[in-house]
């Protein structure tokens, strides 16, 4: 697939109210920045960035009609592979504390809470919700401890 910022913005708009959806211009600008990369699926996409030994998952959007079919998990797996290939030793992301589905997806991929930004996101009703900072190590799995024999 060739990056179509308009298509990506439509999917993002269907997927988010908090944080607010990104525009085609914002998406195109982000994709033009150093280290940025796009992973696409027919009904979703992920934008990441890998620089200076770290990788950031900037956004993940799956059209509501295509959810719960493994697209998000496949995009996250692609991100982790791409980040490791780019030499990143650590990956991180930010997610709304009240986005239970995304938090479950990221936990399944090995991300754990590393910080919190209280009241970071504004809801359409004027309220606020926290941003959770999630992180995980990249690279080969650690070696298992040798088993003791009696």
Q: What pLDDT does residue 2 have?
A: 63
User: Which residue is catalytic, options 14, 26, 94, 113?
Assistant: 94
What CA–CA distance (Å, rounded) separates 131 from 142?
Answer: 29
SS3 30: helix
Please check whether residue 149 lies inside any domain of the structure. no
C-beta separation of 59 from 93 below 8 A:
no
Q: Domain limits at 84? A: 5-137
Note the pTM of the prediction, 2 decimals: 0.86
Alpha-helical regions (H) of the chain: 5-15, 24-31, 71-85, 100-108
**Structural domains counted in the chain:** 1
Residues in the chain: 150
Q: What pLDDT does residue 142 have?
A: 45
Q: Is the pLDDT reported for residue 119 higher than 60? A: yes
Please check whether residue 143 lies inside any domain of the structure. no
User: Which residue is catalytic, options 40, 54, 56, 106?
Assistant: 106
Please check whether residue 145 lies inside any domain of the structure. no
Dihedral angle over CA of 49, 63, 99, 136, nearest 10: -30
Active site residue 94: yes
Q: What pLDDT does residue 13 have?
A: 87
Please check whether residue 100 lies inside any domain of the structure. yes
- Write the pLDDT tens digit of every residue in 18-71: 778 889 999 999 999 999 999 999 999 999 999 999 999 999 999 988 888 999
What is the CATH classification number for the domain harbouring 69?
A: 3.40.630.30
Q: What pLDDT does residue 20 have?
A: 81
């Amino acid at each position: 697939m060739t990056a179509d910022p308009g298509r990506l913005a439509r999917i993002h708009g269907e997927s988010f109210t908090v944080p607010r959806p990104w525009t085609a211009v914002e998406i195109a600008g982000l994709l033009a920045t150093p280290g940025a990369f796009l992973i696409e699926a027919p009904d979703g996409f992920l934008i990441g960035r890998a620089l200076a030994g770290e990788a950031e998952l900037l956004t993940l959007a799956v059209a509501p009609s295509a959810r719960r079919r493994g697209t998000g998990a496949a995009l996250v797996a692609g991100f982790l592979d791409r980040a490791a290939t780019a030499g990143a030793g650590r990956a991180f992301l930010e997610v709304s504390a009240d986005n239970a589905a995304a938090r479950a997806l990221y936990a399944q991929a090995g991300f754990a809470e590393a910080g919190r930004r209280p009241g970071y996101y504004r809801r359409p009703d004027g309220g606020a919700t926290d941003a959770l900072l999630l992180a995980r190590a990249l690279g080969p799995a650690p070696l298992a401890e040798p088993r003791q024999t009696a």
